[in-house]
Structure 1
Amino acid sequence: MNKSWHRAFGVYGLYMNNDKLLVIKKSGGPYKNRYDLPGGSLEEGESLFEALDREFTEETGMEILRKTQIGTIDFQLPWLWRNHTHVHHIAVFYQVEQAGGELKDPHQFDAQDSLGTYWIAEDEITADHVSPLVIEAFNWLLFKRISTEPVIYENWQVVEKTEEAPWNQND
């Protein structure tokens, strides 16, 4: 089978509180029905900082301060979308702090793919219910390292059935 690639590029924030990472539940895309980092794609003419600020606020209600750019990671996985068979997801990670606002349901509009926010601890994650971004986020938070090589998921499956989070929303 010939592979046809969709390239996705986005910026994502890692926000920790009481040893838990803030995540969102995805309603679409290759990470559908999994927990993912707040963030996403840039709009036309938008800088990395502007996109991160906008996406984080849209998806969580929080305003953030960017502390540190951690690095860039790329993921490759199968995903049938339009006429593509795979996605090459390039993600720029930032460590962030809360500057204002409060957690609330995400602002809903046509392109919004966040269903809400959750707090998750490292010992609560499994590859079956989180995105690769969350796995790499914990690698950074626990060991101060991220992958410098592409992370390839040959057998990635989109989760079609929604499950309730094994932890409490907005703990």
Structure 2
Amino acid sequence: MNTHTHVGVYGLAVWEQFYLLIQKARGPYYGKWDLPGGRMEFGESPETALKREFDEETGIIPLQWSIRSSQSVVVNWEYRGEPEEVHHIGILYDVIIGQNNNPLEQIKRNPDGEDSLGAAWFTLEQVKDLQLTPFAQYMMNLSQKER
């Protein structure tokens, strides 16, 4: 079995009572809803990667962010017909977005051609019916406890 380690940065953006998620376009979480984010490019700081990934996947650039947690999970899946085990490590952020315009209308709802099938805003009640990635589930559980 092939093994792989993936380190990424992910953020939970909340606008009023809505939570911003993206639907995964590939990888072991295909079709599930995830936090916007992804892999850091070589030499890139985690915060720069978070801003870049948010822009690429949602069209929104965070104004502020703070590290909430780090988590890891091992995921088994099949890649090109071969079993693979991925150790997925995430640096998880709380994200604050600008309030100048209504961000509910200004997101990329269509695929980005890379990792996202599109972004969407959900209420906490709606999130309960979604299939979430482990990191998204973790952050949503924290949000639910804080309410």
TM-score tier after normalising by the smaller chain length: 0.7 to 0.9
Q: How many residues align?
A: 140
- The corresponding residue for 1:85 is 84
Q: Distance in 1 between matches of 2:44 and 2:13?
A: 22
The SS at the match of 1:140 is helix
Find the residue that maps to 2:62 and give its secondary structure: strand
TM-score by length of 2: 0.83
Contact kept, 8 Å, 2:33 with 2:130, in 1: the verdict is no
- Give 1:68 deviation, angstroms: 1.4
Q: Unpaired runs of 5+ in structure 1?
A: 145-171
2: CA distance, partners of 1:60 / 1:143: 26
Give the share of equivalent positions with the same residue, in percent: 34
Q: Which residue of 2 aligns with 1:143?
A: 145
* 1:18 aligned residue (5, 16, 19): 16
| Higher percent of residues as helix | 2
- Using a 3 Å threshold, how does the CA distance of structure 1 residues 108 and 142 change in structure 2: closer, same or farther? closer
Between the aligned partners of 1:47 and 1:107, the Cα distance in structure 2 is 25
Distance (Å, rounded) in 1 between the aligned partners of 2:97 and 2:111: 18
The secondary structure found in structure 1 opposite 2:131 is coil
State the superposition RMSD in angstroms.
2.3
Shift of 1:24: 0.5
Q: Aligned partners of 2:26, 2:73: CA distance in 1, in Å?
A: 17
